[in-house]
Amino acid sequence: MGMLDGVKIVSFNHFMLGPLAAQHLGDLGADVVMIEPIGGAFQRKWAGGNTYVGGESALFLCANRNKRSIALDLKSDAGREVALKLMAEADVVMENFRPDIMERLGLGYETAKAANPRLIFASASGWGASGPYSKRPGQDLLIQARSGLGMITGTQSSPPTPVGVSAVDHHGAMVFAASILAALVRQGRTGEGTKVEVDLMSAALDMQAESLIAYFNGSPDRETRAPDNIGGWHYQAPYGFYRTSDGHIAISIVAFDVLAEALECPELADMTEDDGWNRREAVAELVQGAVEGKTTDYWCERFETLSIWHAPVLGYDAVAADPQVQYNGNLLQSELTSGEPITLLAHPACFDGERPGVRLAPQPIGAQSAEILSDLGYDDATVSTMESSGAVALG
């Protein structure tokens, strides 16, 4: 795709937030050099769903394509020297260690800036670079708990519920990548470097902008758990999910008289817009009672005829078969260096009608160590010595 051709990024990222942000930039053409520990980063050793392909974890596979891998012992003098050389010629350095780890390794912002004044030094943390929680583990589930996201997910009859994906990591990755892109624009215009700081707590709150603004500017005694069926505390009935005879259907914003006709429920025709707020439970009960006797397909056809905003609630198999998903090319087939096939998610954006593809499948540990060291001017004998000492691992 080449949107970021010529941009060099050194990635010290691990887990999900940092690697996924770096992958977005790699998809766009940046040369991303992924620095891992000798034994491999955490994301290689834990898998969502306990799923592995060719020995690689699903967590690693989802966020580490289009990157070159070098494995370094950053606590060794030789390993740290390699990292500093990479940083000195990079446009961007990314890291999502806990605050102060890079400084303790001798690879912090001031050191990097002194060697490369135009460098963008981008750090992501769980809670923020400083403050009362800065030293705590900053992980998606913990952020969901403290940010209010877990509390507003679910309904009044259910307990606080984690979102079914690592939503904060994914949104945080987009914030991280977008912030780096903004800094690259400035760098291109002025030649200036930038210190970029992103944290998961801020990303989690950013995800909730609509509901937080509604809450803090509304009645102080509002209930922040939605009634059953309704899609959130700050939404008007009937907005939500409803059980059909064979599944569930989503019903969005709709006039009550139109919905009454569709559901053949005259009681709804007497409802007003205010009732959608003040009598949400009653509205939801009427809609649920009318919907549950027929299939999802029946309601989809009927709602389509009446131009009611709706959608079937799909599981993953149905998502894969969905005509729009297939048309968009959201799922793509690739293969590991071992030749084993894998299914990946395509880059979420198109450029000039095309989605960025896979230049490099997720790589084995240190697959490009020798190549990267050669690029930095290390000869074969020196590389061999470094490998023998444990400063670098060759793939």
Among the options 27, 91, 140, 169, which is catalytic? 169
Query: Which tokens belong to 93?
Result: 């350095």
Q: How far is CA 333 from CA 203, 260, 329, 340, 358, in A?
A: 30, 45, 10, 11, 9
Distance CA 96, CA 132 (A): 18
The DSSP line for 271-340 is: --HHHHHHTHHHHHHHHHHHHTTS-HHHHHHHHHHTT--EEE---HHHHHH-HHHHHHT-EEEEE-TTS-
Distance CA 173, CA 347 (A): 13
Distance CA 228, CA 288 (A): 10
Q: Count CB atoms within 10 A of the CB of residue 164.
A: 7
Contacts of 173 (CB under 8 A, 6+ apart): 16, 17, 18, 20, 21, 24, 63
Distance CA 33, CA 11 (A): 6
Active site residue 169: yes
Map tokens 């939503």 to a residue: 167
Residues annotated as part of the active site: 169
